[in-house]
Chains A and B, each alone.
Chain A
Amino acid sequence: MIKETIGMIFIYIGIGFDFFGVLGLVRLPDVYNRLQAATKCVTFGSAGIMFGVFILNGFNSFGFKALLGIAFIFLTSPVAAHVIARAAHRSGVPLAKQTVVDDYAKDNDLKDL
Protein backbone atom coordinates (compact mmCIF):
# COMPACT_ATOMS: atom_id res chain seq x y z
CA MET A 1 0.00 0.00 0.00
CA ILE A 2 2.77 2.43 0.97
CA LYS A 3 4.77 1.21 -2.02
CA GLU A 4 1.94 2.06 -4.40
CA THR A 5 1.49 5.53 -2.90
CA ILE A 6 5.20 6.36 -3.24
CA GLY A 7 5.31 5.06 -6.80
CA MET A 8 2.26 7.08 -7.84
CA ILE A 9 3.79 10.22 -6.24
CA PHE A 10 6.93 9.74 -8.36
CA ILE A 11 4.80 9.32 -11.47
CA TYR A 12 2.83 12.51 -10.70
CA ILE A 13 6.06 14.50 -10.18
CA GLY A 14 7.49 13.14 -13.41
CA ILE A 15 4.46 14.05 -15.48
CA GLY A 16 4.36 17.55 -13.96
CA PHE A 17 7.96 18.27 -14.90
CA ASP A 18 7.45 16.79 -18.36
CA PHE A 19 4.66 19.29 -18.83
CA PHE A 20 6.79 22.25 -17.64
CA GLY A 21 9.63 21.29 -19.95
CA VAL A 22 7.36 21.07 -22.96
CA LEU A 23 5.82 24.42 -22.03
CA GLY A 24 9.33 25.87 -22.03
CA LEU A 25 9.90 24.39 -25.48
CA VAL A 26 6.92 26.38 -26.74
CA ARG A 27 7.39 29.66 -24.86
CA LEU A 28 11.12 30.48 -24.80
CA PRO A 29 12.60 32.65 -27.56
CA ASP A 30 15.51 30.82 -29.26
CA VAL A 31 17.03 27.38 -29.80
CA TYR A 32 19.49 27.42 -26.90
CA ASN A 33 16.95 28.47 -24.27
CA ARG A 34 14.47 25.90 -25.54
CA LEU A 35 17.16 23.24 -25.40
CA GLN A 36 17.97 24.15 -21.79
CA ALA A 37 14.43 24.03 -20.48
CA ALA A 38 13.37 21.00 -22.46
CA THR A 39 16.44 18.86 -21.78
CA LYS A 40 16.48 19.41 -18.02
CA CYS A 41 12.80 19.07 -17.33
CA VAL A 42 11.93 16.27 -19.75
CA THR A 43 14.92 14.17 -18.69
CA PHE A 44 14.02 14.51 -15.03
CA GLY A 45 10.34 13.91 -15.77
CA SER A 46 10.82 10.73 -17.77
CA ALA A 47 13.32 9.45 -15.21
CA GLY A 48 10.77 10.15 -12.49
CA ILE A 49 8.07 8.20 -14.34
CA MET A 50 10.43 5.27 -14.80
CA PHE A 51 11.48 5.33 -11.17
CA GLY A 52 7.83 5.24 -10.16
CA VAL A 53 7.28 2.25 -12.46
CA PHE A 54 10.31 0.57 -10.89
CA ILE A 55 8.95 1.09 -7.37
CA LEU A 56 5.53 -0.24 -8.37
CA ASN A 57 7.02 -3.37 -9.96
CA GLY A 58 9.95 -4.24 -7.73
CA PHE A 59 12.99 -6.19 -8.82
CA ASN A 60 11.51 -8.27 -11.62
CA SER A 61 12.45 -7.98 -15.28
CA PHE A 62 10.07 -5.05 -15.91
CA GLY A 63 11.49 -3.01 -13.03
CA PHE A 64 15.07 -3.71 -13.98
CA LYS A 65 14.40 -2.55 -17.53
CA ALA A 66 13.00 0.68 -16.10
CA LEU A 67 16.21 1.23 -14.10
CA LEU A 68 18.29 0.59 -17.21
CA GLY A 69 16.14 3.10 -19.09
CA ILE A 70 16.90 5.74 -16.42
CA ALA A 71 20.62 5.13 -16.91
CA PHE A 72 20.30 5.41 -20.71
CA ILE A 73 18.37 8.68 -20.50
CA PHE A 74 20.76 10.29 -18.02
CA LEU A 75 23.77 9.34 -20.13
CA THR A 76 22.47 10.19 -23.58
CA SER A 77 20.29 13.27 -23.27
CA PRO A 78 22.96 15.80 -22.13
CA VAL A 79 25.27 14.59 -24.91
CA ALA A 80 22.51 15.04 -27.50
CA ALA A 81 21.76 18.54 -26.15
CA HIS A 82 25.43 19.53 -26.35
CA VAL A 83 25.80 18.23 -29.91
CA ILE A 84 22.62 19.99 -31.09
CA ALA A 85 23.67 23.29 -29.48
CA ARG A 86 27.10 23.14 -31.10
CA ALA A 87 25.68 22.28 -34.52
CA ALA A 88 23.11 25.09 -34.25
CA HIS A 89 25.76 27.64 -33.35
CA ARG A 90 28.12 26.54 -36.09
CA SER A 91 25.41 26.53 -38.73
CA GLY A 92 24.61 30.13 -37.86
CA VAL A 93 21.31 30.02 -35.98
CA PRO A 94 20.95 33.53 -34.47
CA LEU A 95 20.66 34.05 -30.72
CA ALA A 96 17.64 35.77 -29.20
CA LYS A 97 17.27 39.54 -28.93
CA GLN A 98 17.77 39.54 -25.17
CA THR A 99 21.27 38.00 -25.41
CA VAL A 100 23.98 39.88 -23.50
CA VAL A 101 27.33 38.25 -24.37
CA ASP A 102 28.52 35.68 -26.91
CA ASP A 103 32.07 34.56 -26.22
CA TYR A 104 31.87 31.56 -28.53
CA ALA A 105 31.40 33.60 -31.70
CA LYS A 106 34.10 36.00 -30.49
CA ASP A 107 36.71 33.28 -30.08
CA ASN A 108 35.98 30.99 -33.03
CA ASP A 109 36.00 31.80 -36.68
CA LEU A 110 32.68 30.37 -37.76
CA LYS A 111 33.73 29.70 -41.34
CA ASP A 112 36.33 27.21 -40.16
CA LEU A 113 34.41 24.03 -39.56
Chain B
Amino acid sequence: MARVVVMGAGISGHTASTRLRSFLPKKHEVVVVSPNPQWNWVPSNVWVGVGTLEVKDVLFDLAPVYKKAGIVFKQAKVISIHPEGDKDSSSPYISVEYTEAGKVGHIEKVTYDYLVNSTGPKLNFAATPGLGPEGHSHSICWASHAEHAQKDFLAAIERMKKGQKQTFLIGMGHGMATCQGAAFEYIFNVEFEIRRRGLRDLANIVYLTNEYEVGDFGMGGMHLRRGGYYTHSKIFAESFYTEKGIKMITRAHVTKVEAGVAHYVNLADEEHKIEFDFAMLIPPFAGVGLTAFNKSGKEIKDTLFAPNGMMKVDADYTPKAYEEWKAADWPKFYQNQAYKNIFAVGIAFAPPHFISKPMKNSAGTMINPTPPRTGMPSGVMALAVAKTVASIIKHGGDQSKATFYSASMADIGAACVASAGKKFFTGRAAGITLHPIVPDYDRYPVFGRDPKLTTGEIGLGAHWIKIVIHHMFIWKAKLKPGWTLLPE
Protein backbone atom coordinates (compact mmCIF):
# COMPACT_ATOMS: atom_id res chain seq x y z
CA MET B 1 0.00 0.00 0.00
CA ALA B 2 1.31 3.46 -0.90
CA ARG B 3 0.22 6.77 0.53
CA VAL B 4 0.23 9.93 -1.60
CA VAL B 5 -0.14 13.18 0.29
CA VAL B 6 -1.29 16.24 -1.66
CA MET B 7 -0.64 19.57 0.02
CA GLY B 8 -3.30 22.06 -1.09
CA ALA B 9 -6.77 21.82 -2.58
CA GLY B 10 -6.84 24.59 -5.15
CA ILE B 11 -7.08 24.00 -8.88
CA SER B 12 -3.81 22.05 -9.11
CA GLY B 13 -4.12 20.23 -5.76
CA HIS B 14 -7.71 19.19 -6.38
CA THR B 15 -6.81 17.99 -9.86
CA ALA B 16 -3.83 16.00 -8.54
CA SER B 17 -5.75 14.32 -5.71
CA THR B 18 -8.90 13.48 -7.65
CA ARG B 19 -6.99 12.22 -10.69
CA LEU B 20 -4.71 10.13 -8.45
CA ARG B 21 -7.74 8.64 -6.77
CA SER B 22 -9.20 7.69 -10.15
CA PHE B 23 -5.91 6.18 -11.38
CA LEU B 24 -4.94 4.22 -8.25
CA PRO B 25 -6.56 1.04 -6.85
CA LYS B 26 -8.35 1.57 -3.54
CA LYS B 27 -5.62 -0.22 -1.57
CA HIS B 28 -3.49 2.92 -2.02
CA GLU B 29 -4.30 5.98 0.02
CA VAL B 30 -4.69 9.56 -1.23
CA VAL B 31 -4.58 12.23 1.49
CA VAL B 32 -5.28 15.93 0.99
CA VAL B 33 -4.04 18.49 3.51
CA SER B 34 -5.51 21.96 3.08
CA PRO B 35 -6.23 24.72 5.59
CA ASN B 36 -9.33 25.71 3.64
CA PRO B 37 -12.54 23.69 4.03
CA GLN B 38 -13.87 24.89 0.68
CA TRP B 39 -12.86 24.74 -2.96
CA ASN B 40 -12.93 28.01 -4.90
CA TRP B 41 -13.33 28.41 -8.66
CA VAL B 42 -10.97 31.38 -8.65
CA PRO B 43 -11.55 32.59 -12.25
CA SER B 44 -15.14 33.50 -11.36
CA ASN B 45 -14.07 35.60 -8.36
CA VAL B 46 -14.02 38.40 -10.94
CA TRP B 47 -17.81 38.21 -11.12
CA VAL B 48 -18.13 38.09 -7.33
CA GLY B 49 -16.02 41.24 -7.15
CA VAL B 50 -18.58 43.23 -9.15
CA GLY B 51 -21.67 41.67 -7.60
CA THR B 52 -22.91 39.60 -10.55
CA LEU B 53 -22.26 36.39 -8.61
CA GLU B 54 -22.42 35.76 -4.91
CA VAL B 55 -19.54 34.13 -3.08
CA LYS B 56 -21.55 30.93 -2.55
CA ASP B 57 -21.66 30.49 -6.34
CA VAL B 58 -17.89 29.97 -6.53
CA LEU B 59 -17.36 27.85 -3.39
CA PHE B 60 -18.32 24.38 -2.21
CA ASP B 61 -17.36 22.20 0.76
CA LEU B 62 -14.52 19.80 0.09
CA ALA B 63 -15.19 17.25 2.85
CA PRO B 64 -18.29 15.59 1.31
CA VAL B 65 -16.69 15.47 -2.14
CA TYR B 66 -13.55 13.81 -0.79
CA LYS B 67 -15.57 11.42 1.37
CA LYS B 68 -17.52 10.28 -1.68
CA ALA B 69 -14.31 9.87 -3.68
CA GLY B 70 -12.47 7.96 -0.97
CA ILE B 71 -9.87 10.65 -0.37
CA VAL B 72 -8.73 11.34 3.19
CA PHE B 73 -9.11 15.05 3.96
CA LYS B 74 -7.25 16.80 6.75
CA GLN B 75 -8.20 20.44 7.21
CA ALA B 76 -4.81 21.64 8.31
CA LYS B 77 -1.90 23.76 7.20
CA VAL B 78 1.49 22.26 6.49
CA ILE B 79 4.31 23.55 8.66
CA SER B 80 7.33 21.52 7.59
CA ILE B 81 8.50 18.69 5.37
CA HIS B 82 10.75 15.91 6.72
CA PRO B 83 11.76 13.99 3.59
CA GLU B 84 14.14 11.68 5.51
CA GLY B 85 11.90 11.21 8.54
CA ASP B 86 13.49 11.99 11.89
CA LYS B 87 15.67 10.34 14.53
CA ASP B 88 12.83 7.99 15.49
CA SER B 89 11.79 6.81 12.03
CA SER B 90 13.01 6.87 8.44
CA SER B 91 9.50 7.35 7.05
CA PRO B 92 9.18 10.73 5.37
CA TYR B 93 6.45 12.89 6.78
CA ILE B 94 4.98 16.38 6.88
CA SER B 95 4.08 18.18 10.04
CA VAL B 96 0.62 19.75 9.92
CA GLU B 97 -1.38 22.02 12.21
CA TYR B 98 -5.16 21.63 12.13
CA THR B 99 -7.42 24.57 11.29
CA GLU B 100 -10.63 22.54 11.59
CA ALA B 101 -13.05 23.65 14.30
CA GLY B 102 -12.53 21.55 17.40
CA LYS B 103 -8.98 20.59 16.46
CA VAL B 104 -7.45 24.04 15.94
CA GLY B 105 -3.76 24.06 16.76
CA HIS B 106 -3.45 20.28 17.01
CA ILE B 107 -0.16 19.15 15.45
CA GLU B 108 0.12 15.86 13.59
CA LYS B 109 2.77 13.97 11.61
CA VAL B 110 1.40 12.75 8.28
CA THR B 111 3.68 10.17 6.72
CA TYR B 112 3.90 9.80 2.96
CA ASP B 113 5.42 7.70 0.23
CA TYR B 114 4.88 10.42 -2.38
CA LEU B 115 4.27 14.09 -1.78
CA VAL B 116 2.67 16.56 -4.18
CA ASN B 117 3.17 20.20 -3.26
CA SER B 118 0.32 22.28 -4.65
CA THR B 119 -0.01 24.81 -1.88
CA GLY B 120 -0.53 27.75 -4.22
CA PRO B 121 0.84 31.14 -3.26
CA LYS B 122 1.10 33.27 -0.21
CA LEU B 123 -0.45 36.59 -1.18
CA ASN B 124 2.45 38.81 -0.26
CA PHE B 125 0.58 42.03 0.54
CA ALA B 126 3.39 42.99 2.92
CA ALA B 127 5.68 43.60 -0.07
CA THR B 128 3.88 46.91 -0.64
CA PRO B 129 2.99 48.97 2.45
CA GLY B 130 -0.75 49.55 2.67
CA LEU B 131 -1.62 47.00 -0.02
CA GLY B 132 -4.51 44.57 0.42
CA PRO B 133 -7.84 44.15 2.19
CA GLU B 134 -6.23 44.86 5.55
CA GLY B 135 -4.71 48.00 4.08
CA HIS B 136 -6.30 50.36 1.59
CA SER B 137 -6.91 48.29 -1.54
CA HIS B 138 -8.85 45.21 -2.56
CA SER B 139 -7.95 41.87 -4.09
CA ILE B 140 -9.98 39.22 -5.91
CA CYS B 141 -7.47 36.41 -5.38
CA TRP B 142 -9.58 34.71 -2.74
CA ALA B 143 -13.37 34.47 -2.63
CA SER B 144 -13.49 36.34 0.68
CA HIS B 145 -11.42 39.15 -0.85
CA ALA B 146 -13.74 39.31 -3.85
CA GLU B 147 -16.74 39.50 -1.51
CA HIS B 148 -15.10 42.42 0.30
CA ALA B 149 -14.33 44.10 -3.04
CA GLN B 150 -17.95 43.65 -4.13
CA LYS B 151 -19.23 45.49 -1.07
CA ASP B 152 -17.01 48.51 -1.67
CA PHE B 153 -17.56 48.47 -5.43
CA LEU B 154 -21.34 48.59 -4.95
CA ALA B 155 -20.87 51.39 -2.41
CA ALA B 156 -18.95 53.35 -5.05
CA ILE B 157 -21.83 52.74 -7.46
CA GLU B 158 -24.24 54.19 -4.90
CA ARG B 159 -22.05 57.29 -4.58
CA MET B 160 -22.13 57.74 -8.36
CA LYS B 161 -25.91 57.45 -8.31
CA LYS B 162 -25.83 60.50 -6.06
CA GLY B 163 -23.77 62.33 -8.67
CA GLN B 164 -20.32 61.89 -7.18
CA LYS B 165 -17.42 61.23 -9.55
CA GLN B 166 -15.35 58.18 -8.66
CA THR B 167 -11.90 56.96 -9.67
CA PHE B 168 -11.40 53.20 -9.98
CA LEU B 169 -7.78 52.07 -9.88
CA ILE B 170 -7.28 48.47 -10.94
CA GLY B 171 -4.11 46.55 -11.74
CA MET B 172 -0.95 45.29 -10.13
CA GLY B 173 0.08 46.20 -6.60
CA HIS B 174 3.80 45.55 -7.00
CA GLY B 175 6.49 45.63 -9.67
CA MET B 176 6.78 41.84 -9.59
CA ALA B 177 3.15 40.84 -9.30
CA THR B 178 1.57 38.37 -11.72
CA CYS B 179 -2.00 37.49 -12.80
CA GLN B 180 -2.44 40.46 -15.13
CA GLY B 181 -5.24 38.46 -16.77
CA ALA B 182 -7.34 38.68 -13.61
CA ALA B 183 -6.90 42.44 -13.39
CA PHE B 184 -7.62 42.74 -17.14
CA GLU B 185 -10.86 40.83 -16.70
CA TYR B 186 -11.88 42.65 -13.55
CA ILE B 187 -11.44 46.13 -14.98
CA PHE B 188 -13.65 45.35 -17.98
CA ASN B 189 -16.33 43.91 -15.71
CA VAL B 190 -16.15 47.05 -13.57
CA GLU B 191 -16.49 49.21 -16.68
CA PHE B 192 -19.40 47.09 -17.95
CA GLU B 193 -21.30 47.26 -14.66
CA ILE B 194 -20.85 51.02 -14.45
CA ARG B 195 -21.84 51.59 -18.07
CA ARG B 196 -24.95 49.40 -17.93
CA ARG B 197 -26.16 51.52 -15.02
CA GLY B 198 -25.75 54.67 -17.11
CA LEU B 199 -23.04 56.05 -14.84
CA ARG B 200 -20.02 55.84 -17.15
CA ASP B 201 -19.53 59.62 -17.35
CA LEU B 202 -18.98 59.75 -13.60
CA ALA B 203 -16.26 57.09 -13.59
CA ASN B 204 -12.56 57.56 -14.17
CA ILE B 205 -11.20 54.05 -14.68
CA VAL B 206 -7.43 53.54 -14.61
CA TYR B 207 -5.38 50.40 -15.28
CA LEU B 208 -2.00 50.45 -13.54
CA THR B 209 0.41 47.68 -14.42
CA ASN B 210 3.99 46.49 -14.13
CA GLU B 211 3.88 45.27 -17.73
CA TYR B 212 6.25 46.94 -20.18
CA GLU B 213 3.25 47.24 -22.48
CA VAL B 214 -0.35 46.23 -21.84
CA GLY B 215 -1.06 42.78 -23.26
CA ASP B 216 2.22 41.36 -21.92
CA PHE B 217 0.36 39.23 -19.34
CA GLY B 218 3.67 38.08 -17.83
CA MET B 219 4.41 36.07 -20.97
CA GLY B 220 6.06 38.75 -23.07
CA GLY B 221 2.73 39.09 -24.83
CA MET B 222 1.93 37.08 -27.93
CA HIS B 223 1.50 37.63 -31.62
CA LEU B 224 -2.05 36.98 -32.72
CA ARG B 225 -3.00 36.22 -36.28
CA ARG B 226 -5.77 38.70 -37.10
CA GLY B 227 -6.88 40.41 -40.30
CA GLY B 228 -3.92 39.26 -42.37
CA TYR B 229 -1.32 40.41 -39.84
CA TYR B 230 0.60 38.94 -36.94
CA THR B 231 -0.29 41.55 -34.37
CA HIS B 232 1.19 41.81 -30.88
CA SER B 233 -1.26 41.49 -28.02
CA LYS B 234 -0.30 45.05 -27.05
CA ILE B 235 -2.44 46.29 -29.95
CA PHE B 236 -5.25 43.91 -29.00
CA ALA B 237 -5.29 44.97 -25.34
CA GLU B 238 -4.60 48.66 -25.91
CA SER B 239 -7.45 48.84 -28.39
CA PHE B 240 -9.87 47.33 -25.89
CA TYR B 241 -8.78 49.67 -23.09
CA THR B 242 -9.07 52.69 -25.36
CA GLU B 243 -12.44 51.60 -26.74
CA LYS B 244 -13.78 51.48 -23.19
CA GLY B 245 -12.20 54.77 -22.21
CA ILE B 246 -9.83 53.19 -19.69
CA LYS B 247 -6.57 55.01 -19.01
CA MET B 248 -3.37 52.97 -18.93
CA ILE B 249 -0.32 53.37 -16.72
CA THR B 250 2.43 50.92 -17.63
CA ARG B 251 5.93 50.00 -16.33
CA ALA B 252 4.87 50.91 -12.80
CA HIS B 253 5.82 49.56 -9.38
CA VAL B 254 3.45 50.54 -6.59
CA THR B 255 5.61 51.61 -3.65
CA LYS B 256 2.92 52.47 -1.13
CA VAL B 257 -0.86 52.55 -0.81
CA GLU B 258 -2.46 55.03 1.55
CA ALA B 259 -6.12 55.75 2.11
CA GLY B 260 -7.27 56.90 -1.32
CA VAL B 261 -3.77 57.35 -2.76
CA ALA B 262 -1.38 54.94 -4.50
CA HIS B 263 2.25 55.91 -4.94
CA TYR B 264 4.29 54.39 -7.74
CA VAL B 265 7.63 54.63 -9.47
CA ASN B 266 8.22 53.64 -13.08
CA LEU B 267 11.06 52.34 -15.21
CA ALA B 268 12.03 55.92 -16.08
CA ASP B 269 12.53 56.61 -12.33
CA GLU B 270 9.57 58.99 -12.24
CA GLU B 271 7.66 59.02 -8.98
CA HIS B 272 3.92 59.61 -9.17
CA LYS B 273 0.82 59.25 -7.10
CA ILE B 274 -2.76 58.66 -8.10
CA GLU B 275 -5.87 59.24 -6.04
CA PHE B 276 -8.65 56.67 -6.05
CA ASP B 277 -12.03 55.96 -4.52
CA PHE B 278 -11.83 52.22 -5.15
CA ALA B 279 -8.69 50.17 -5.80
CA MET B 280 -8.20 46.51 -6.67
CA LEU B 281 -4.50 45.79 -6.89
CA ILE B 282 -3.16 42.23 -7.25
CA PRO B 283 -0.36 41.42 -4.78
CA PRO B 284 2.88 39.63 -5.63
CA PHE B 285 3.03 35.91 -4.87
CA ALA B 286 5.51 34.13 -2.61
CA GLY B 287 5.86 30.59 -1.31
CA VAL B 288 3.57 29.75 1.61
CA GLY B 289 6.47 29.70 4.06
CA LEU B 290 7.19 26.01 4.38
CA THR B 291 10.46 24.77 5.74
CA ALA B 292 12.17 21.36 5.69
CA PHE B 293 14.45 19.30 7.93
CA ASN B 294 16.68 16.31 7.37
CA LYS B 295 16.87 13.22 9.55
CA SER B 296 19.17 14.85 12.09
CA GLY B 297 16.87 17.85 12.41
CA LYS B 298 19.03 20.25 10.38
CA GLU B 299 17.05 22.73 8.29
CA ILE B 300 17.35 21.95 4.57
CA LYS B 301 15.08 24.66 3.24
CA ASP B 302 17.60 25.60 0.53
CA THR B 303 17.59 22.03 -0.79
CA LEU B 304 13.86 22.03 -1.41
CA PHE B 305 13.00 25.65 -1.98
CA ALA B 306 14.14 28.63 -4.05
CA PRO B 307 14.71 31.92 -2.16
CA ASN B 308 11.12 33.02 -2.96
CA GLY B 309 9.77 29.97 -1.13
CA MET B 310 8.68 28.10 -4.26
CA MET B 311 9.76 24.46 -4.53
CA LYS B 312 12.70 23.51 -6.75
CA VAL B 313 11.94 20.91 -9.39
CA ASP B 314 13.63 19.58 -12.54
CA ALA B 315 14.21 23.02 -14.06
CA ASP B 316 17.56 24.52 -15.04
CA TYR B 317 18.08 27.15 -12.36
CA THR B 318 21.46 28.31 -13.67
CA PRO B 319 21.34 32.12 -13.81
CA LYS B 320 21.29 33.21 -17.46
CA ALA B 321 20.85 36.41 -19.43
CA TYR B 322 17.49 36.89 -21.15
CA GLU B 323 19.09 36.25 -24.54
CA GLU B 324 20.23 32.80 -23.36
CA TRP B 325 16.90 31.60 -22.03
CA LYS B 326 15.70 28.37 -23.59
CA ALA B 327 12.45 26.43 -23.57
CA ALA B 328 14.46 23.53 -22.15
CA ASP B 329 15.10 25.51 -18.95
CA TRP B 330 11.51 24.82 -17.91
CA PRO B 331 10.66 21.70 -15.88
CA LYS B 332 9.03 18.74 -17.59
CA PHE B 333 8.08 16.44 -14.72
CA TYR B 334 7.87 18.81 -11.70
CA GLN B 335 9.98 16.43 -9.65
CA ASN B 336 12.32 17.64 -6.90
CA GLN B 337 15.80 16.46 -7.75
CA ALA B 338 17.02 15.93 -4.18
CA TYR B 339 14.01 13.88 -3.10
CA LYS B 340 12.50 12.11 -6.06
CA ASN B 341 9.27 11.22 -4.29
CA ILE B 342 8.38 14.91 -4.01
CA PHE B 343 6.67 16.87 -6.80
CA ALA B 344 5.43 20.48 -7.02
CA VAL B 345 2.78 21.88 -9.37
CA GLY B 346 0.90 25.10 -10.04
CA ILE B 347 2.20 28.22 -8.37
CA ALA B 348 4.11 26.09 -5.84
CA PHE B 349 6.94 25.15 -8.23
CA ALA B 350 9.84 27.54 -8.73
CA PRO B 351 10.12 28.74 -12.35
CA PRO B 352 13.70 28.87 -13.69
CA HIS B 353 13.30 32.53 -14.64
CA PHE B 354 10.74 35.03 -15.88
CA ILE B 355 9.03 34.73 -19.25
CA SER B 356 8.83 38.49 -19.81
CA LYS B 357 12.15 40.24 -20.22
CA PRO B 358 13.51 41.44 -16.85
CA MET B 359 13.43 45.20 -16.45
CA LYS B 360 14.69 47.44 -13.68
CA ASN B 361 14.97 51.16 -13.18
CA SER B 362 18.20 52.94 -12.28
CA ALA B 363 17.49 52.40 -8.58
CA GLY B 364 17.50 48.65 -9.25
CA THR B 365 13.75 48.17 -8.69
CA MET B 366 12.56 45.21 -10.73
CA ILE B 367 9.45 46.14 -12.71
CA ASN B 368 8.24 43.19 -14.71
CA PRO B 369 5.59 40.52 -14.21
CA THR B 370 6.51 37.10 -12.85
CA PRO B 371 5.37 34.06 -14.85
CA PRO B 372 1.66 33.20 -14.67
CA ARG B 373 0.99 29.52 -13.90
CA THR B 374 -2.58 29.44 -12.67
CA GLY B 375 -5.70 27.96 -14.23
CA MET B 376 -5.30 25.57 -17.13
CA PRO B 377 -1.50 25.13 -16.95
CA SER B 378 -1.65 24.28 -13.26
CA GLY B 379 -4.33 21.67 -13.96
CA VAL B 380 -2.33 20.11 -16.79
CA MET B 381 0.81 19.96 -14.62
CA ALA B 382 -1.20 18.30 -11.85
CA LEU B 383 -2.60 15.74 -14.29
CA ALA B 384 0.92 14.94 -15.53
CA VAL B 385 2.22 14.46 -11.99
CA ALA B 386 -0.81 12.35 -11.02
CA LYS B 387 -0.18 10.07 -14.02
CA THR B 388 3.53 9.83 -13.21
CA VAL B 389 3.03 9.05 -9.52
CA ALA B 390 0.34 6.47 -10.36
CA SER B 391 2.73 4.81 -12.81
CA ILE B 392 5.55 4.74 -10.24
CA ILE B 393 3.24 3.17 -7.66
CA LYS B 394 2.00 0.59 -10.15
CA HIS B 395 5.66 -0.37 -10.74
CA GLY B 396 6.24 -0.91 -7.05
CA GLY B 397 8.12 2.36 -6.61
CA ASP B 398 10.74 1.57 -9.28
CA GLN B 399 11.06 4.90 -11.08
CA SER B 400 13.26 3.40 -13.79
CA LYS B 401 10.34 1.24 -14.94
CA ALA B 402 7.62 3.85 -14.63
CA THR B 403 6.24 6.03 -17.42
CA PHE B 404 6.83 9.70 -16.72
CA TYR B 405 4.44 12.30 -18.11
CA SER B 406 5.74 15.71 -19.08
CA ALA B 407 3.86 19.01 -19.13
CA SER B 408 6.52 21.66 -19.62
CA MET B 409 5.13 25.17 -19.91
CA ALA B 410 7.25 25.40 -23.04
CA ASP B 411 5.23 22.52 -24.48
CA ILE B 412 1.68 23.16 -23.32
CA GLY B 413 -0.70 25.94 -24.23
CA ALA B 414 -3.31 27.93 -22.40
CA ALA B 415 -6.81 29.13 -23.08
CA CYS B 416 -7.66 32.44 -21.46
CA VAL B 417 -11.20 33.75 -21.57
CA ALA B 418 -11.47 37.17 -19.98
CA SER B 419 -15.06 38.28 -19.66
CA ALA B 420 -16.13 41.86 -20.02
CA GLY B 421 -19.59 41.85 -18.54
CA LYS B 422 -21.69 38.90 -17.41
CA LYS B 423 -25.03 39.48 -19.13
CA PHE B 424 -25.91 36.60 -21.47
CA PHE B 425 -26.64 38.69 -24.58
CA THR B 426 -24.82 41.94 -23.89
CA GLY B 427 -21.69 40.57 -22.23
CA ARG B 428 -18.44 40.28 -24.15
CA ALA B 429 -15.19 38.42 -23.59
CA ALA B 430 -11.69 38.31 -24.97
CA GLY B 431 -10.94 34.72 -25.90
CA ILE B 432 -7.24 34.02 -26.27
CA THR B 433 -5.45 30.77 -27.00
CA LEU B 434 -1.69 30.45 -27.12
CA HIS B 435 0.72 27.60 -27.60
CA PRO B 436 3.17 27.17 -26.00
CA ILE B 437 2.99 29.36 -22.89
CA VAL B 438 6.76 29.84 -22.75
CA PRO B 439 8.00 30.94 -26.17
CA ASP B 440 10.14 28.36 -27.93
CA TYR B 441 12.17 30.22 -30.55
CA ASP B 442 13.86 27.03 -31.76
CA ARG B 443 10.54 25.46 -32.79
CA TYR B 444 8.82 28.67 -33.75
CA PRO B 445 11.34 31.26 -34.98
CA VAL B 446 10.44 34.98 -34.77
CA PHE B 447 7.43 34.82 -32.43
CA GLY B 448 8.17 31.69 -30.38
CA ARG B 449 4.65 30.33 -30.62
CA ASP B 450 2.52 28.26 -32.97
CA PRO B 451 0.77 30.87 -35.14
CA LYS B 452 -2.18 28.55 -35.83
CA LEU B 453 -2.92 28.07 -32.14
CA THR B 454 -2.12 31.57 -30.91
CA THR B 455 -5.21 33.64 -31.56
CA GLY B 456 -7.50 36.12 -29.90
CA GLU B 457 -10.85 37.71 -30.51
CA ILE B 458 -13.50 39.67 -28.67
CA GLY B 459 -17.17 38.85 -28.79
CA LEU B 460 -20.29 37.35 -27.34
CA GLY B 461 -19.22 33.84 -28.41
CA ALA B 462 -16.15 34.00 -26.17
CA HIS B 463 -18.38 35.22 -23.34
CA TRP B 464 -20.59 32.15 -23.71
CA ILE B 465 -17.45 30.02 -23.49
CA LYS B 466 -16.63 31.71 -20.19
CA ILE B 467 -20.10 30.83 -18.87
CA VAL B 468 -19.74 27.22 -20.05
CA ILE B 469 -16.29 26.99 -18.42
CA HIS B 470 -17.67 28.32 -15.10
CA HIS B 471 -20.35 25.63 -14.89
CA MET B 472 -18.24 22.86 -16.44
CA PHE B 473 -15.31 23.19 -14.05
CA ILE B 474 -17.47 23.43 -10.94
CA TRP B 475 -19.31 20.30 -12.14
CA LYS B 476 -15.97 18.59 -12.67
CA ALA B 477 -14.54 19.67 -9.32
CA LYS B 478 -17.61 18.25 -7.57
CA LEU B 479 -16.79 14.92 -9.29
CA LYS B 480 -20.23 14.72 -10.86
CA PRO B 481 -20.97 12.14 -13.61
CA GLY B 482 -18.52 12.31 -16.50
CA TRP B 483 -15.99 14.46 -14.67
CA THR B 484 -13.03 12.35 -15.77
CA LEU B 485 -13.90 13.09 -19.41
CA LEU B 486 -13.55 16.84 -18.97
CA PRO B 487 -10.12 18.32 -19.76
CA GLU B 488 -8.01 20.33 -17.33
A complexed with B: no
User: Which positions in A face B, CB cutoff 8 Å?
Assistant: none
